[in-house]
A = this chain, B = another copy of it.
Amino acid sequence: MRLLLVEDDERVAAALVAVLGRHGFQVRHARSGHEALDALVPDGNDPYRVVLLDLGLPDRDGFEVCSRIRAGSGVPVIMVTARADIRSRIHGLNLGADDYVTKPYDMGELLARIHAVARRGAQPSSVAVPAPDAVPQQRGPLESRGIRIDRERRRVSVDGRDVPLTRKEFDLLALLAQSPGVVYRREQIFSEVWRSGWEGNGRTLEVHIGSLRNKLALPGLVEAVRGVGYRLIPDSPASPATDRTPASPAEH
């Protein structure tokens, strides 16, 4: 899970990077608002799932950055700042921030809040946002084609029968089921299901896909897209033009 940290104090940043890393985040550190905005330009990598924006920078600047971010992207933003006054809080939230945390904060609570906004996921709000890779992270149990995926219980059932899955199998299915029909590229799958940048050398992904198919016993559900990745076939094939991939076809 990628996270963008905007923080000018190196010591604070280093500490946060360490802790967040230990909790499974792949952190990119931006030292300034400018750098942050650059980092948010879609580049084919996975999009950031959340932005941690410190307002410790040259006073008002942070608000400016938040509003710029919000103008161009739907990525969730958490403001972190020493400014505890009500006016700033309200102002920050109204600029489009998803949460506003004041220092000193408890690390556990910050983590919980990060998870809260991350699971809410990026949804291109009203604005027409150039965020093609934005994954509509859906909450509550997923259900489609008789498969019920209960994320918090890590349980999967097909037509009422419980299907025990291993960790990788479950994560894989949960990822693909987020957007049935959409093709997930191999690198994308690896970075979501396998932590840290790890390129699957061997046949790892195929094997897990294989055992997932076996256990679900729903032929045709998990489809391989040659040279790209995998996807789930949705039940109501509302003209899935098959080109409905998040990847721009231009890139090879």
A interface vs B, CB < 8 Å?
19, 22-23, 70-74, 76, 86, 89-90, 93-94, 96-99, 106-109, 111-113, 115-117, 119-123, 125, 127-130, 136, 138-143, 146, 148, 150, 152-155, 157, 159-160, 162, 166-167, 179, 181-183, 187, 191, 196-197, 199, 225-228, 231, 238-239, 241-243, 245, 248
| Chain B residues whose C-beta falls within 8 Å of the C-beta of A22 in the assembled complex | 199
Q: How many copies does the complex hold?
A: 2
Q: A93-B109, A148-B242 are in contact. Are A143 and B160 (CB under 8 A)?
A: no
- CB of A197 to closest CB in B, whole Å: 4
Task: For A23, give the chain B residue with the smallest CB separation.
Answer: B187
| Chain B residues whose C-beta falls within 8 Å of the C-beta of A86 in the assembled complex | 106, 108-109
Question: Is A109 a contact partner of B196 (Cβ separation < 8 A)?
Answer: yes
Question: Is A98 a contact partner of B120 (Cβ separation < 8 A)?
Answer: yes
| Chain B residues whose C-beta falls within 8 Å of the C-beta of A123 in the assembled complex | 120-121, 123, 136, 138
